Amino acid sequence: MKRIIIKRVYEKASNQDGYRMLVDRLWPRGVSKEDAKLDEWNKDIAPSAELRKWFDHREERFKEFITRYKKELHDKKNELKRLKKITDKHQLCLLYGAKDEKNNQAVVLKLVLDSL
């Protein structure tokens, strides 16, 4: 099994990234699809629009965001299994657009995937 890493989509793509998956519901500002070098844009695994708007990238809401996002992910077991299966052959690079490197959906998604 390969690793799961997290990276901002604004960082330059690398050959060591492996399978590059954007896990944001919205396309990140100022990034061209060519520069993103994505293997996949997975909007379905991203937090719902309602949760994203509520969270608003406020650090003080992150703990509750984790709880709410995990509840949303609970209903996406087949998709989580598919993502985990990618790691059988490739490193999985979860890409996000937020400025905060510690409090974002990719961090939570990685925790969930690591626990499978």
pLDDT digits (tens, 9 = 90+) for 56-102: 999 999 999 999 999 999 999 999 999 999 999 999 999 999 999 99
Dump pLDDT digits (tens) for 11-65: 999 999 999 999 999 999 999 999 999 999 999 999 999 999 999 999 999 999 9
Query: What was the pLDDT predicted at 38?
Result: 98
pTM of the predicted model, to two decimals? Answer: 0.95
Q: Does residue 94 sit in helix, strand or coil?
A: strand
**67: number of Cβ within 10 Å:** 9
What integer pLDDT is reported at residue 1 of this predicted model? 74
Greatest CA span in the chain, whole angstroms?
37
